[in-house]
Structure formats: structure tokens, C-alpha cells
Chains A and B, each alone.
Chain A
Amino acid sequence: MAERSGNQTYYELLEIPQSAGPMDIYNAYQRARKTYSPSSPALYSMFSPEEASQLMSLIEEAYQTLSHQGRRKEYDQKIGLGATPTPPKPAKSNESPGKNKADDAWVGQVRTVPKRDELPKGFARTRYSVYEVKPDLESEIQEAQEMDGPFLQKIRLYKGVKIEQICDELRMTKTSLVALESNDLDALPVPVFTRGFIVGIARVLGLDGKKTADAYMKFFKANKK
């Protein structure tokens, strides 16, 4: 395995999301070929020709794996991803030059790449942060039958997510989120929208959306005049 790969997955090498379809994979591959070809001006002073050729061979390898449904599924399992979305049509694997088209030719070469940035023991991550797991707080969250604004704020601060990040993600105003966290129920929208907010916030904080929304709405309905 080439050194340059570090602990990047094939998806990160091709700079595509894990949900990318065959066309996205093909386009990303074509773009990467252009970028890391020896004549590319973009490499100048950043990667040596040897480093670029190492990267190129990894990119070829990534494309060969991800453009084939079976190999991609196998690879996803190896790196600990869930099921890959079924592509609507087969990828154009025949358009990349110099490839062995036999289905089983690459199976033995599927690389086991560790999932990116494996966290040290006792740490977990949300979409926006890495935080230290506190078992007592985790159990408090798990057991909570009713949640109010300050409790949600406590979870947010524990997980190290900023107000701005939630606002950006959910397209909600800072005022609404502050109102929610400070139990200013009069400033919140009608229950159906508030519930929607809570489901979104729970998703950002890595909580169960339904459970969190049920727990908050119990509080909301009891206290809303």
C-alpha cells in the first residue's frame, strides 16, 4: 500500500460523499485524473512527480472499487459503513484506460482502510465536534422522560456544538434557539414546527430524534399557555 494514502478512505481520496452515485464517482475520477496527471500545473511545488503518481495509483484503485457495485459494498463493510445506496445504473468502468474488467480481478486487492480519524477511547463525535463521553450524563440523557430547554442546552454544551452550527444546519434563527434553550415558550412557533426543530437539533446532537421530540413536547404541552 502506498504511503501517501494515510488513513483516507476511497471516498475521501476521490472527494465525494459516501452517498455518491455512479455518475458522481465517474466525474470525480475524471477530475482527479486531470489534477494528478504529471502535466497538471496544480501540483507545482506541492507534490513531487513520485508523490503524484502514488496518489494517481490510489485514485485508480479507489475508482475500480467504488465504480463496481459488489466491490463497493464489500469495501463499505470493511470500513464500517452501512449499506451503500443502490445505484440506478451501472458505472462506466470501461471508460478508464488500462483496467482489468474482470469482476473478480480486484476483489483480493480491496484495501482495509481504517475509518478516518478513529477516536481515542472514551471519546465520541457529533457531526460538528469531538467530545469526551461522560457515562453519568449519557445515562441521564437515556433515562430522561421529559426534556426542557436548559436540558437540551446542557446536552449541546456537553457535546461541544455551537449555537451557530445548529442555526446554520437547520436554517433557524439564533433567537429561536436561545428562546428554546431558555424555555421562552411564547417565542417558539406552533407545536408542529417546534417539534420539527427538536428533531433537527437531536439529529445534530446525535440523539434519537423521535425520543427527544416526544420528551420535549411533553414538557412543551404541559407548560405552554
Chain B
Amino acid sequence: MKLGNVSNVDFTPLRGRVEPGSTIIAVGGGKGGVGKSFVSSSLSIFLAHLGYDTLAIDLDLGGANLHTSLGAPLSNVGINEFILNPDLEFSDLIQPTSWPKLKLISGSSDVVDIANIDELQRSRVMSAIFRHKADFTILDLSAGTHHSTVDFFLMAQHKVTVITPDPSSIENAYRFLKAAFFRKLRRYEHQLQLKSQIDELLNNKAQHGIKNPSDLIRVLVDREPVLGLKLRNILGALNYEIVLNQARTRQEMELGYSLQSVCNKYFGFPCDFLGSLEYDNAVWQSLRQRNHLLQANRQSHLYGQLMGMARKLVKSHQLKAVV
């Protein structure tokens, strides 16, 4: 038998698909003011602390404030200019931060109407993010369920949703997750030639006993076993990760497990609970000083809670020794 050498092996065919240049973590949440930028900036800082080359990108087009969370100065070149100027390279946008391993692409410049980008502009941004080489890329998303926001969310390997214990935040977060689910479903139903079947099931939900996405997929698998299972596997990869922010009591801290359980049962695939973050006045106090909490107040309980989340996001074999 012929013995090969590992150095001669072409890895590309083994992968079967194009791999992104980094592990992409999207932080969304549906509602404004729940702490998406705080969670994105904190995770970016901790991942950089753990020794990973990290790029934080502000994709809250039209409402960018990640640079403020990171205490970075206003920049004239950011994601807005990249969208408007086709000649600009992605690498030209990157600006340094106070943390050597952490880089930032901000959206701080004032460009009117930037929130309404078209599909071409969106795919150019997505393709640049996908090709960017780093250990981690953190996407700070906007509120709402705009197609751009949902598409940026879906392109990530880690789809983190920030929720606070307020009913309005919970409702908006669920709506956001449903929007992401159906966006992905619509994308693959054509490919798998299941569109007519799915439309028929959705138009006659009561008749088929469909009350949620989990029921929909179950009925679809009963009808079309092979394609239905394929679709279920694709949707199962969504694997939402939940962060509960601004928890004030022990009961609220534990609410994250309930949210996870409800999502599991509603969508029919496993969702993860990354952890809870306590409400801490130090967050807004440090923000007013244009400083990040992790620099201004290291005694905060949030320090350990955020570090735990960052470590969960890093696969065990990726963990590095940090001195």
C-alpha cells in the first residue's frame, strides 16, 4: 500500500466547503439598549486577553457605538465608507485599540441613510468579513429584524442573542430568533425543492397541527423523509446561544435556563445558554467616562462572568496558556 506524506495532502477537498478566515461571533438581540455593544466589546476584549487576534466590527449601521464602548476615538474611515466606496479595501478600515490583540472596524462616521444597504453592498461586506483572517471576528449587530441584520447574524458560527429580563426584550429577542429561523428556512427550501410543501403546510397550520417551527419540521420529515431530514440538519446548525444581561435577582439569573428550554422546544433544535450577567451600575458609570468596565472596574462581578463566557466560546483545543 502506498504511504503518503501529510505535507503533500491538499486540505481543500477534505473540507468540502469554503471555511471562513476566522471564528465569527455575531451578537444580536432584536431590541435596542439590551447591551449588545457592551457584550460584543467585552467578549472582544477577553478573547484578545486570552491571546487571540480579534477583530470587532460595528455592524449597527446608522446607530454605531461600539467605538464608544471600547473607548476608541472617532474614526473617519469605517464600515460606512467601505459600503459606499467600492475601491476601499477591508484592511484599510482596521484601527488599533488599547488592547494589542484587539482591532476595531467602527461605524462612527456620519453617513445619512447608511442603514438601508442593498443586497449587493450586503454581500460585499459579508464576503469581506468571511475572508478576513484572524482568530475571532465579533459582529455587533443592530436592533430589529432587518434582512441585513439577520443575514449578518446567520453568517456567524456563534449566534449570540442578548436578552434582558424585561418582557419587551424577551418578546423582541424571540421575534429576532424566529426571523432568523425563517430566513434560513426560506434560503434552503428552494435548494431542496421543498418550497411548495412548506408553503402548503404554513397555509394550513391548524389542519396539520403546526404550532411552531418544531412541529413544521416534524410534519415535513413525515412527508418527505430524506429532504426533510436534510433540512432539519441544516436548521439544527443554527444553535442559538443566549446571554441574559442586566439580571438583578437570583430568579432573573436563572431565567436564562428557561429561555433556553423554551427555545429548544419551540424551534426543535438545541440552543445554548452562555450565562447571565448581573446588573452593575459600574457599566454606565465607566461608559460615561468613555472607558470600558474591564479597564475601569476590575472588581466587578461581571469580570468573572464575561471571562467565563469568552472561554465557553473558545473550543477546548483552541485554549492557550495565558501568563
Contact = CB atoms under 8 A, between A and B. Distances in A.
Interface in B128-165: 165
Nearest to B19: A164
B264 A182 contact: no
Interface stretch (A30-38, A97-105, A202-210): A30-38
B307 interface: no
Contact of A179 (B6, B214, B226): B6
A136 interface: no
B320 interface: no
B23 to A, nearest CB: 12
Nearest to A121: B225
Contact of A31 (B2, B229, B258, B316): B258
B215 interface: yes
A215 interface: no
A183 B171 contact: no
Given A44-B167, A120-B226, A223 B9 contact: no
Contacts of A15: 261, 264
Contacts of B174: 44-46
A40 interface: yes
B124 interface: no
Interface stretch (A84-92, A170-178, A191-199): A170-178
Contacts of A182: 4-6, 8-9
Nearest to A179: B6
Contacts of B171: 44-45
Nearest to A8: B265
A83 interface: no
B317 interface: yes
Interface in A3-36: 3-4, 6-7, 15, 31-32, 34-35
Contacts of B314: none
Contacts of A51: 211
B4 A162 contact: no
A186 B5 CA distance: 8
Contact of B170 (A45, A129, A130, A148): A45
A223 B225 contact: no
Nearest to B261: A35
Contacts of B221: 117
Nearest to A7: B218
B306 to A, nearest CB: 23
Contacts of A187: 6
Contact of A46 (B4, B11, B226, B262): B262
Interface string B273-294: 0000000000000000000000
Contacts of A223: 1, 3
Contacts of B6: 175, 178-179, 182, 184, 187
Interface in A108-136: 117, 119-120, 123, 129-130
A173 B315 CA distance: 12
B100 interface: no
B197 interface: no
A106 interface: no
B175 interface: yes
A148 B221 CA distance: 37
Contacts of A162: 16
B312 to A, nearest CB: 14
A42 to B, nearest CB: 4
A163 B1 CA distance: 23
Given A182-B6, A184-B4, A184-B5, A171 B170 contact: no
B143 to A, nearest CB: 17
A158 interface: no
B254 interface: yes
B303 interface: no
A183 B258 CA distance: 48
A4 B262 CA distance: 13
12 contacts: A31-B257, A31-B261, A42-B170, A44-B167, A45-B170, A45-B175, A47-B266, A120-B225, A123-B229, A168-B317, A173-B317, A182-B4
Interface of B: 1-6, 8-9, 11, 14-16, 165, 167, 170-171, 174-175, 209, 211-212, 214-215, 218, 221, 225-226, 229, 233, 254-255, 257-259, 261-266, 315-317
Interface of A: 3-4, 6-7, 15, 31-32, 34-35, 40-47, 51, 55, 117, 119-120, 123, 129-130, 148, 162-163, 167-168, 171, 173, 175, 178-179, 182-187, 219, 223
Given A44-B171, A55-B265, A120-B225, 14 more contacts: A3-B209, A4-B211, A6-B214, A35-B258, A41-B255, A42-B255, A44-B167, A46-B212, A47-B266, A117-B221, A123-B226, A129-B233, A173-B317, A183-B2
**Considering the complex of A and B, which 6 residue pairs feature the smallest CB-CB distances, nearest first?**
A42-B258, A120-B225, A35-B258, A184-B6, A182-B4, A179-B6
